Amino acid sequence: MDKIKEKIRERIKPILQGNEIDDDENFFELGLVHSLFAMQIILFIEKEYKIELDPDEVSLENLSSIDAIAEIIDERFKKTPSV
């Protein structure tokens, strides 16, 4: 889980423009991300972890913080450990 979060932080870092955020902070509410951000996060998850997200996994709740994103990736690993 920590490794997953580290990778997400790495990806989010340039977008946050030097602002430090906690893993549970909602980056949509911070107003630092633009309208194509969700697309990029989805592409990042699918490419990095070679998974195809189900439509019900792609929601504001699941993509709004480092913790939330790590959670859906971790859940996938639990379901299909070979992924």
Partner 1 sequence: MKDLKKHRQYNMGFNSDFEKEVISFVSEYITPYAIEMDVTQNIPNAVIKNIADKGYFGACVKSKYGGQNMNAYDIMSLHKIMAQGHGSVENMLTVTGMVTQPIQRFGSREIRDKWLPLIATGEKIGGIALTEPNAGSDLRSVETCLTDKKDHFVLNGVKRWITLGQIADFFLVLCKLENKTIAVIVERNNPGLKIKSIKNMLGLKANMLAELEFTDCVVPKENTIGSEIDGVSTAINFGLDEGRFTTACGSLGIAEAALSEAIKHVREKDRLNKHQLVQKLLTEMIVDVESAKNFCTAAAEAREIFDLSMVRKTLLAKYVASKAATSVTSNAIQILGAKGCHLNSSFTERLYRDAKIMEIIEGSTQIHEVLIPKEFLYV
We find the least distance from the C-beta atom of residue 36 to partner 1, in angstroms, to be 5
3-state secondary structure of 19: coil
We find the least distance from the C-beta atom of residue 39 to partner 1, in angstroms, to be 5
We find the least distance from the C-beta atom of residue 22 to partner 1, in angstroms, to be 20
Residues that bind partner 1 (CB under 8 A): 14-15, 17, 28, 32-40, 42-44, 46-47, 55-56, 58-60, 63
Nearest-angstrom CA–CA distance, 43 and 51: 10
Q: Which residues contact 18 (CB under 8 A, 6 or more apart)?
A: none
